[in-house]
Structure 1
Amino acid sequence: MTLAAAHIDTGDTAWLLAATALVLLMTPGLALFYGGMVRTKSVLNMLMMSFVSIALVTVVWLACGYSLAFGDDVADGLIGGLHQAGMAGLGPSDVHGTVPTLLFATFQLTFAIITAALISGAVADRAKFGAWLVFVPVWALLVYVPVAHWVWGPGGWIGQHLHALDFAGGLPVEITSGASGLALCLVLGPRLGFKKDAMRPHNLPMVMLGAGLLWFGWFGFNAGSAMGATGLAAAAFLNTLAAGCTGLLGWLFVEHKRDGHPTTLGAASGAVAGLVAITPSCGTVSLLGALVVGLAAGVVCSYAVGWKFRLNYDDSLDVVGVHLVGGIIGTLLIGLFAEKAMTGGAEGLLYGGGLAPIGRQLLAVAVVAVYAFAVTYGLGKLLDKVMGLRASEEQEHTGLDLTVHAETAYDHGVLGHGAPVGASPFVPTAQKVNTQA
């Protein structure tokens, strides 16, 4: 047994193995969450955009993404080196803290995967699948990897020089995906019929199932970021549960007061909003802080999802309203609610830390949001010019499932009132009967 192997803690390793599996499960959960929110003609395409992200990001991460994000800094806090490209030199005995380095790299990989997949919700129903296959790996290298290094990498300027706090990914995950989603939906333009046709979720039970899987996986996302089976992991676990609950209740309260009807979609969206906001703060705030963070996200995000109609950007599945806004809320509120008992030193304004923590959090949010938006907008424009980013009008009208994947998710005759004898399978009866399909 090598000296490194002797330092591997089996309890911490077992927990991180479980947490890694939980975070990976979040991407299929996201696929179901998004899949239920689109219309029947593009369900499979939505599922595929998430599933293919698993494969694309994994290849890029193993090739060079991990080394650039978590390798030794080579550019004044901006990016790591390529010394571990292809996972070179890493074996089962290499250790990161108290866990195998290979496990740490895999855990971080699952974060990169779901971050890329999150963006797909902003461009649902109209993005070319072929263009998505190119966009995901390039975006992961240009946006996610540098920001991950800034926040978590050795020598990263946000984490180790600015000393802004982000426990589990408000900046690299939530804010980059939300800002990038906004940039990409501006490049693509709105869906056909935006603000004219009703575009309701076609399968709310699927949405609720997806939200439940996301919530389940989020415990690995947040508590796993403690990197061990510790008291901090337990606190992050409880904070995650609490914030998801108050996020759900906050969203439903707004719906009831504003619309008169608390909805299942609102419950799912509110829970996700609370989970998004607690992601950066779950290891820095107390239980009371977590309750407030979740509630604030549930209330504010329930209004933010309507901004697209006023500002005329078609964020199909509310990536901007939930992930960008929720990520900003959770990251900024660290500056108010951070407690020494959680952070080991840093304190927020309400606990005697002064205004400096808020300033640090605000600067980190602003830089990451602007960087992610600018790079994604430029990448989107480039891909649109080179290969076309948007599906054709005919494909969008017919549905991407049939025109791109040559499949349909449902027997439309069953969903409708029954297909007449001899009806063509390529002209689904349900699309005639139910215009929401």
Structure 2
Amino acid sequence: MASVAVPEWLNKGDNAWQMLSATLVALQGFPGLALFYAGAVTRKCALTSAFMALYAMAATMPCWALWAHNMAFGHRLLPFVGRPAPALAQDYMLTQALLPSTLHLHSNGEVETAAVAPLYPSASMVFFQWAFAGVTVGLVAGAVLGRLSVKAWMAFVPLWTTLSYTVGAYSIWGGGFLFHWGVMDYSGGYVVHLAAGVSGYTAAYWVGTRRKEEEEMTMAGGGNLVAMVAGAGILWMGWTGFNGGDPFSANTDSSVAVLNTHICATTSILAWVCCDIAVRGRPSVVGAVQGMITGLVCITPAAGLVQGWAALLMGVASGTLPCYTMNAAMSFKVDDTLGILHTHAVSGVLGGVLTGVFAHPTLCDMFLPEYIAIIRSTDDFDTSSVFAAFDKDGDGKVSASELRGCMAAALGEEVSEEEAAAILATADTDGDGLLDHHEFMRLSAAHQLQEPAEESLRCLREAFDMYAEEEETAVITPASLRRMLRRLGSEHQRLEMEECRAMICRFDLNGDGVLSFDEFRVMMLMA
């Protein structure tokens, strides 16, 4: 039963998983990075290096809660950054989490897709995203260990979090211009690792090299390798929350993301070790750790978007290419202490590119089910070329007669003018009786250009009427869906309202919380 502490929209499983994921990510920053850095450098620098990781997590939280969270995930200020605002008030923390800038509007101002709204409170979202921000700025430190002063680091952390991290996070995740262009970065190949790698390398360039006597300091040359391996282990297991928490739900996609994470990481370890044997004649624990990191980074932008075999191939790539670039860059004058450019920036870009190669449409739909149907081509054909084929007169619009002629040729049977007009009307959002390219993409994604026959349409209508709330309203609500499913069998007797809302949400194309008949048809076509 709903209460103040347990509102109807709250999914307890999602909330528990999100808080656990946030905790796992935070453990990556401290003690994970602290142990890793302290063990990777000489004893002289160990305590300072550990403090830098601790301070990164601590200093990020006030910034995040006071202004940075809403700069990254709040209302739009500019196309690349949100409006600074605190995330501390009770009225904010207890409400359902919402990323308002992810609301996508059509050119005529109508809602195209609803804003991302996970089924847990904003407090959980702020906690989860703070952990990401703290770990990201902590990664930058890996390039300047052993020479950047503590005071300089104390000033750098809040400035970089505010001026750099929030820009990338908002642009891709929070509803900025890259999000609306369709850029997908599952857990931070660009937002986290490319940003940290490039920033760290730039900082290393300006800070300069270490003193002559310390210049040969490497992970294999000093410090406590056992502590380094222990820290690396925390980083590895913490990545379960890092990638598994990004669907914002404890669902099947999060399970795929977690499994792919470890497939890629383990494969990358083996690939790097093989490279060490081929080049140096023996395996190295340092190389194994570097391979682990590059594998984890490479799979980050793709974790829940690719199949297992793709994660395996990405592991091979991440265990070889960054190994090559790291060895090839030894002649460079920039003193990147732990090779952050290669383990994070190179691996992050590699993962982003391979995501585009291996991403599977079904998994993409699971990650962003409504938006992806609009921004991508369908599985079977390229909409640009098909649109050109339908647009016989080349005016940039498809009329009902053009649609009718091409459908008749494609289906091998006559299509009436009324049928063609009815099909066109389902995607004609501006009501001009024509389809522009954007509307054509919407039609392709929803209908696959295959309208059901009259008998199938009648059956669909009968099925829809069974689930609809009232005949005159002609919509399926969470309550009516739950009621009908409970009638269908005992296995549905314990079905919760939140589960019914989640079922509807996937195909609720206009974000009104219910299913119309057209949305029901899309659901049945995709089933």
Looking at structure 2, the residues matched to 196 and 340 of structure 1 have their Cα atoms a distance apart, in angstroms, of 48
Report which stretch shifted further, 30-39 or 113-122: 30-39
Partners of 2:130 and 2:358 lie apart in 1 by 29
Q: Rate the CA distance shift 1:86–1:100 in 2: closer, same or farther, 3 A.
A: closer
Give the alignment of 1:155-234 within 5 angstroms: 156-160=176-180, 162-193=181-212, 197=216, 199=218, 200-234=221-255
1:251 corresponding residue in structure 2: 272
Q: Which residue of 1 aligns with 2:128?
A: 107
Taking the aligned partners of 1:196 and 1:117, their CA distance within structure 2 comes to 22
More RCO (CA 8 Å, sep 6+)? 1
Contact 2:263 2:312 in 1 (8 A): yes
SS across alignment from 1:261: coil
Structure 1's unaligned 5+ residue stretches are 357-437
Residue 256 of structure 2, aligned match among 215, 218, 235: 235
1:371-406: CA deviations, max 9, x gaps?
A: xxxxxxxxxxxxxxxxxxxxxxxxxxxxxxxxxxxx
- Residue 70 of structure 2 is aligned to residue 51 of structure 1: no
Is the Cα–Cα contact under 8 Å of residues 96 and 119 in structure 2 kept in the other structure?
Answer: no
- C-alpha distance in structure 2 between counterparts of 1:67 and 1:301, whole Å: 35
Q: Which residue is 1:293 aligned to?
A: 314
CA distance in 2, matches of 1:150, 1:44: 36
Structure 1 position 336 matched with structure 2 position 357: yes
Residue 146 of structure 1 corresponds to: 167
**TM-score, structure 2 length as denominator?**
0.64
Q: Assess if the C-alpha contact under 8 Å between 1:4 and 1:93 holds in 2.
A: no
* Displacement of 1:228: 1.2
Counterpart position of 1:13: 15
Give the partner amino acid of 1:313: V
Q: Sequence identity, in percent?
A: 31
Question: How far apart are the structure 1 equivalents of 2:161 and 2:97?
Answer: 25
The residue type equivalent to 1:166 in the other structure is D
Q: In structure 2, do the counterparts of structure 1 residues 192 and 158 end up closer, same or farther at CA, with 3 Å as the change threshold?
A: same
Please report the TM-score for the alignment, with normalisation by the length of structure 1.
0.76
Instruction: Quote the offset at 1:74 in angstroms.
Output: 2.2
1:3 deviates by: 11
Whether the 8 Å contact between 1:194 and 1:314 is mirrored in structure 2 is no
Aligned-pair distance for 1:305? 2.1
Structure 1 residues 184 and 78: alpha-carbon distance in aligned structure 2, compared to 1, 3 A threshold: same
Q: Is the 8 A contact 2:318 2:347 kept in 1?
A: yes
Q: Superposition pairs for residues 246-395 of structure 1, below 5 Å?
A: 246-344=267-365, 345=372
The count of residues paired between Structure 1 and Structure 2 equals: 351
- Alpha-carbon RMSD: 2.3
Is contact 1:174–1:324 with CA below 8 Å preserved after alignment? Answer: yes
Alignment check: 8 A CA contact 1:236 1:282 kept: yes
CA drift of 1:148 comes to 0.3
C-alpha spacing 1:135/1:194, structure 2 compared with 1 (3 Å): same
Distance 1:34 1:2 in 2: 44
| CA distance in 2: counterparts of 1:201 and 1:109, whole angstroms | 32
Is residue 128 from structure 1 mapped to residue 149 from structure 2 by the alignment? yes
Change (3 A) 1:236 1:223: same
What is the CA distance between 1:4 and its match in structure 2? Answer: 8.8
The offset of 1:83, in angstroms, is 4.5
SS in 1 for 2:82: coil
Other structure's SS at 1:262 match: coil
Deviations 1:296-344 (A, max 9, x none): 1111111222344222111001111100111011111111001012101
Distance in 2 separating the partners of 1:327 and 1:194: 33
Q: Hey, what does 1:410 align to over in structure 2?
A: none
Cα 1:107/1:238, change in 2 over 3 Å:
same
Paired with 1:202 and 1:336, the residues of 2 have a C-alpha distance of 40
Q: Distance in 1 between matches of 2:341 and 2:213?
A: 17
58-67 or 29-38, which deviates more? 29-38
| Distance across 2 between alignment mates of 1:340 and 1:87 | 39
2:230 is aligned with what amino acid? L
Taking the aligned partners of 1:164 and 1:3, their CA distance within structure 2 comes to 36
1:63 corresponds to 2:66: yes
Helix, strand or coil: the match of 2:36? helix
The offset of 1:182, in angstroms, is 0.8
Tell me the distance in 2 between the aligned counterparts of 1:336 and 1:262: 31
| In 2: Cα distance, 1:201 partner to 1:336 partner | 40
Q: Does the Cα contact within 8 Å between 1:174 and 1:327 map onto a contact in 2?
A: yes
SS at match of 1:90: helix
